[in-house]
Amino acid sequence: MDAEILVGRTLAGYLMRGIIGRGSMGVVYAARDLVLSHDVAVKVIRPDTAFSADAIDRLHQEARWLLRCDDPHVVRVYGSGRAEGHDYIAMELMPATLQARIAKGRPEIRELVEIGAGILLGLAAAHRAGIIHQDVKPANVGIARDGMVKLLDFGVASPLPWSTSFQDAATFTWGLPCVGSLHYMAPEQLRGEAVDDRADVYSTGAVLYELATGRRPFTDSRPACLINAVLNGHPCPPSLLNPNLPAAIDRVLIRALAKKPARRFSSVLAMMDALLQVGPLAPGPAGPKMPAARRRDPIAIPRRVMPTQYGATPNVGVAVSFGASRGWPTHATSQERYRPSTRRLDPRVHCRAADAGAEGR
């Protein structure tokens, strides 16, 4: 059955108006809720995977995870179910994505910081709920009409290794040892290794790199060469591609894109704290667009004890400031997790490595 067959039909009270996206698992439709009279997005299992028990389980698990996040920077879920033989999720409809914003050109510094902070706040909510997104990319970042940035598509998300919110979290892989999008996947994801919240730090760094420069960190179109570049290459410093970027942006993005998780930011909020230090360079109030009721309120994030197999130090926190001081649990302090090299690198070598991918290695 072709996905187009649902266009113009009513499914579970939603009038399906047209297809707005396709993924490995589902098709997303723009729809109208005929009961509440508002526009929604409805994700339906793709016809070629409709009889896959794993695909159906993942779809409904995505709805539960969206509900658990419960944050303004994560797309809202209205419900899920099965109707007329179709499994579906009804969600908030986003009028635009970051992919469309990137196509319009490089943003000003203030907009770059606000978008980045919005992504990181959404990820913080997911990590607080015990979830790794694993597929942060421009197409999975929505921009609402009021400018609010929201995370979309938790279809390949998985529990954090230390999460106690899900049974058997260590083996919760949906049978997919390597999931995500190649240009934005952390090296440990590509190697099929166990990942934690720092994989989302890497992906966010890749997304913001593309937003800031108009180019992905690694651009080779050949999958094998692209994988080798992600595993072994070094991205060109962003300011060499966009001279308007301050050195502070270089430091934030290059650190987020470190090959080893231990050299990245210890959490998404630690990365946001560093990113917001660039805020004063632009006019206007610093920080991401947030509901007025939340601007002055600290985010309450419970502490957790990290497993020692990830090089953790139990009950070590990093203080993050965004209008108020917030405690965020991490594997170790920023000083312990990242010690920058004193070796000076020729940025032109980085650019050549990024352009050439894996050639000559």
Considering the domain architecture, whether residues 135 and 206 belong to the same structural domain is answered as yes
Considering the domain architecture, whether residues 209 and 118 belong to the same structural domain is answered as yes
> Helices 53-69 and 109-128, interaxial angle, to 10°?
110
Main-chain phi, psi angles of 312, to 5 degrees: -85, 155
- The total of other beta-carbon atoms located within 10 Å of residue 79's CB is 16
Considering the domain architecture, whether residues 158 and 203 belong to the same structural domain is answered as yes
Of 329, 354, 128, 322, which Cα lies nearest the Cα of 257?
Answer: 354
- pLDDT confidence of residue 137: 96
Q: Structural domain tally of the chain?
A: 2
- Helices marked H in the chain: 53-69, 98-103, 109-128, 187-190, 198-213, 223-232, 238-241, 247-256, 268-276, 334-337, 347-356
pLDDT tens for residues 258-277? Answer: 999 999 999 999 999 999 99
pLDDT tens for residues 190-222? Answer: 998 989 999 999 999 999 999 999 999 999 989
- pLDDT confidence of residue 328: 41
- pLDDT confidence of residue 341: 40
Average pLDDT of span 274-301: 52
302 forms beta bridges with none
pLDDT tens for residues 22-70? Answer: 876 789 999 999 999 999 999 998 776 656 788 888 899 999 999 999 9
Residue 165 scores a pLDDT above 90: no
Residue 308 scores a pLDDT above 70: no
- pLDDT confidence of residue 82: 92
Angle at 213 between CA 182 and CA 210, to 5 degrees: 25
- Range of weakest confidence among 41-50, 157-166, 335-344: 335-344
Considering the domain architecture, whether residues 257 and 157 belong to the same structural domain is answered as yes
Residue 77: give its domain's CATH number: 3.30.200.20
Average pLDDT of span 90-117: 95
Average pLDDT of span 138-162: 92
Of 252, 270, 257, which Cα lies nearest the Cα of 330?
Answer: 270
Single residue among 66, 92, 118 that ends a domain in this structure = 92
Single residue among 64, 92, 120 that ends a domain in this structure = 92
Q: Is residue 311 part of a domain?
A: no
d(CA 51, CA 73): 32
Single residue among 92, 120, 150 that ends a domain in this structure = 92
With beta carbons less than 8 A apart as the criterion, state whether 64 and 53 touch: no
Considering the domain architecture, whether residues 104 and 88 belong to the same structural domain is answered as no
Q: pLDDT band for 85, please (50, 70, 90 cuts).
A: confident
In DSSP notation, 77-99 reads: EEEEEEETTEEEEEEEPPSEEHH
Q: Is residue 326 part of a domain?
A: no
- pLDDT confidence of residue 214: 96
150 forms beta bridges with 142
Q: Is residue 52 part of a domain?
A: yes
Residue 172: give its domain's CATH number: 1.10.510.10
pTM: 0.76
Q: pLDDT band for 179, please (50, 70, 90 cuts).
A: low
Main-chain phi, psi angles of 250, to 5 degrees: -55, -50
Average pLDDT of span 173-177: 44
Count of residues for the chain? 361
Catalytic residue (one of 33, 135, 153, 197): 135
26 forms beta bridges with 45
200 tagged catalytic: no
Considering the domain architecture, whether residues 190 and 291 belong to the same structural domain is answered as yes
Q: Is residue 108 part of a domain?
A: yes
- pLDDT confidence of residue 63: 94
Considering the domain architecture, whether residues 141 and 241 belong to the same structural domain is answered as yes
CA atoms within 13 A of residue 28's CA, in its CB half-sphere? 18
Q: Is residue 234 part of a domain?
A: yes
d(CA 245, CA 211): 12
Q: Which one-letter amino acid corresponds to residue 255?
A: R
**Residue 285 lies in domain:** 96-298+339-356
Considering the domain architecture, whether residues 201 and 344 belong to the same structural domain is answered as yes
The secondary element (H helix, E strand) that includes residue 19 is strand 14-22
Q: Which residue has the tokens 């529990």?
A: 159
pLDDT averaged over the chain? 78
